[in-house]
Each structure stands twice: as C-alpha cells, then as structure tokens.
Amino acid sequence: ETGVTQSPTHLIKTRGQQVTLRCSSQSGHNTVSWYQQALGQGPQFIFQYYREEENGRGNFPPRFSGLQFPNYSSELNVNALELDDSALYLCASSLSVGFNSPLHFGNGTRLTVT
C-alpha cells in the first residue's frame, strides 16, 4: 500500500511569486485535504477536495487554490506569495468524506518565502 507522497520536499520562493505543490493520495483514498503548519503550531485547514470539487475551506484567502485530478492526486497553488506563507504544507488523504475517517498525511513540503 503506497502512502501519501508530496513533492517537492523543500522549496524557496521570493515574495510575490507563485508556487505549486503536489500530492499523491494513498491508494484507495478519494478525499484530499491540505493543511498549513507554521513553526511551533498545529496544522491549519486550508481546504478539502472530493470528486474533483472543493468540499470545505478554512480561513485562507482566495490566492490559495487547489485542484484534484481523476486519479485523486491534488495540487495546491499559492499566488502572490507573502513572507507569512513560509510553513510546512501538509497533504492528507482519507478513505471518504465521513467524519470518522482519519487523515493519512504525507511528509510535507517545506516552503520558505524570502
């Protein structure tokens, strides 16, 4: 069983640039969620995708956008990067959108904005 994989593992961008992060969900999982984890904090929900549609969104501005593909993989796009966007970005997949489904996380992409 293949777990959640994310790429790249590390990324350095300049303020104002755009970035795309990628995620392959665990085999058999049809739901993907993205989280931002700032240093020393718990993960914060960005959004969730199910059946290629956004299925819930946290308190993040529209410059954070995403996609889910037919094979359930996903992308997180961030436009007009700000210094505060520096964080670990975590992708998580789950077996379904049910509330009792645990999340299975990838190892994250560490984004540094300078």
State the residues that interact with other proteins by CB under 8 A: 4, 33, 41-45, 48, 55-58, 90, 92, 97, 99-100, 102-108
Shortest Cβ 87–other proteins spacing (Å): 13
CB count in 10 Å sphere of residue 59: 7
Q: Report how far apart, in Å, the C-alpha atoms of 21 and of each of 1, 67, 98, 100 are.
A: 23, 11, 25, 27
Q: Is 67 exposed, middle or buried (0-12, 13-18, 19+ CB in 10 A)?
A: middle
Nearer to other proteins, 18 or 27 (CB): 27
Nearer to other proteins, 81 or 91 (CB): 91
Dihedral angle over CA of 52, 84, 87, 20, nearest 10: 40
Shortest Cβ 16–other proteins spacing (Å): 28
Shortest Cβ 60–other proteins spacing (Å): 11
Nearer to other proteins, 4 or 81 (CB): 4
Shortest Cβ 77–other proteins spacing (Å): 20
